[in-house]
Amino acid sequence: NTKLATPQGAARYGDKMRNELSQPQPKSPPDTGGGWLELLGDIYSGVTVGASHSMWFVTNWVRTDVIQPTLRLVWKRDSSEGSDTGTADPGLKVIGVGYGRTGTYSLTLALEELGFPCLHTQHLYENPEIFQMWTEEVFSPSLESNHATLGEPDFDLMASQGWRATMDLPMALYYEHVLAKFPDCKFILTTRDNSEVWFRSWNMLTKTITQPTQHFRFMSGIRNLDNYLRWLFSIVNRDDMYLTAPHPFPEQIKENAIASYETHNTRVREVIPKGQLLEYNVKQGWEPLCEFLDVEHCPTTPFPKTNSATSVQVQAVAAMVVPLTVAVFLVFYLFSYLFQHSTGQTVLQWLNIKRRGLLVMLSGKGVQKRERLVTDTKKSM
């Protein structure tokens, strides 16, 4: 299935399926069935997305940390090979300036359906060149100086790779920089019902996405993700302690995080010209989005709904369980191969022989016990 050919494709296919499952069915009786369908959709999406994320990190680790270093020992690659000289591009057209957990991933799927290829932070790692740029220009300098700063990211790099829109942090923080560089760009400020609702969702997210970084830092991709989260939490919580804190990370500072969220939204409203800013809640659906982006033929399909709290929690579990399951399978396969090579028997054959031997031994002991019982009975008579 070509939809599942890449981790990003698998993840978004899972989100699409979850969205379809969670939509209310026509003429359905007014019972709780919709709730169960939505829960099943969340679980399906969470497992699909979490598994695709973890498998990408594993395969990327094998490629970058195992295969490529080995090849370099015998083959020095021409540094100019595969380089991109760059082509003219129209630049970034739409920037999501809402904090994470404000419907940014649902909006990403909507923008892509409207014809705007959108880079969401959830798939940032799948674009190694862009992720490396963020690491070198923003995250690493902040870690080295022990102070989180915005740095100087390369917006042209994202545009040159075909992205016309971005969503979620960290790009949401750079609205002033983007406005100066792309003055015709449009901005969408996604919000929640209130700051308390946003923080509950944000706090839940931070507890789940940090779990893989505690156990898989030997992978270079996970180390970069860990650096990003340290920088991100320092920015949102206005406290540099996250840059050097050991795992598990300190709790989010509620007062600071809410103040950061509210100040950011206020500043966006002040800086971005009214005609270029849409303040938006994904509950509003397609119409205001299509009108703002001058899309003539607005979709009639249900608006994407994804990345619920349940789905994110399932993603975190699946992201850890899947690689562990694969690792256990590989270890068992290797053990079985070596065992058969050395004994001439498969593990199952050996276990079957031992099982029969145990049954024979137990049955023999049973016979001996009955014989002793008969003997004792005769003596007592």
Q: What is the pLDDT along the chain (381 residues), one digit of tens a residue?
A: 433 444 455 445 455 544 544 444 334 344 444 566 666 665 655 556 555 555 555 565 555 555 656 665 656 444 334 434 444 567 899 999 999 999 999 999 999 999 999 999 988 888 889 999 999 999 999 999 999 999 999 999 999 999 999 999 999 999 999 999 999 999 999 999 999 999 999 998 898 888 766 766 656 677 888 999 999 999 999 999 999 999 899 999 999 999 999 999 999 999 999 999 999 999 999 999 999 999 999 999 999 987 555 555 555 555 556 666 766 777 777 888 787 888 888 878 888 887 887 877 777 765 566 666 666 666 666
* DSSP reduced 3-state for 173: helix
Paired residues of 277 in beta bridges: 187
Dist CA 206 CA 213 (whole Å):
12
Contact 335, 68 (CB under 8 A): no
Residue 114 DSSP symbol: T
Q: What burial letters (b/e) apply to 183-192, b meaning 16+ CB within 10 Å?
A: eebbbbbbbb
Q: What angle do CA 191, 225, 133 make, to 5 degrees?
A: 90
Query: Which one, of 97, 95, 104, 222, lies nearest residue 158 by Cα?
Result: 95
Q: Can you read off the two tokens belonging to residue 313?
A: 């929690």
The pLDDT assigned to 190 comes to: 97
Alpha-carbon distance values, 171 to 104, 122, 218, 376 (Å): 12, 12, 27, 88
Dist CA 293 CA 25 (whole Å):
30
Q: Can you read off the two tokens belonging to residue 238?
A: 């206005």
The pLDDT assigned to 18 comes to: 47
- Cα torsion through 178, 182, 186, 188, rounded to 10: -10
Dist CA 204 CA 192 (whole Å):
15
Q: Can you read off the two tokens belonging to residue 335?
A: 């053990």
The pLDDT assigned to 256 comes to: 98
Helix, strand, coil % over all residues of the chain, rounded to 5:
65, 5, 30
Q: Who contacts 356 (Cβ-Cβ below 8 Å, separation ≥6)?
A: none
Name the pairing type of β-strands 165-167 and 186-190: unpaired
Q: Which residue has the tokens 């949401």?
A: 172
Q: Can you read off the two tokens belonging to residue 347?
A: 């593990």
The pLDDT assigned to 354 comes to: 79
Greatest pairwise CA separation for the chain in angstroms: 110
Q: Can you read off the two tokens belonging to residue 296?
A: 């003539």
Alpha-carbon distance values, 9 to 38, 61, 284, 316, 322 (Å): 21, 20, 26, 18, 18
Contact 280, 288 (CB under 8 A): yes
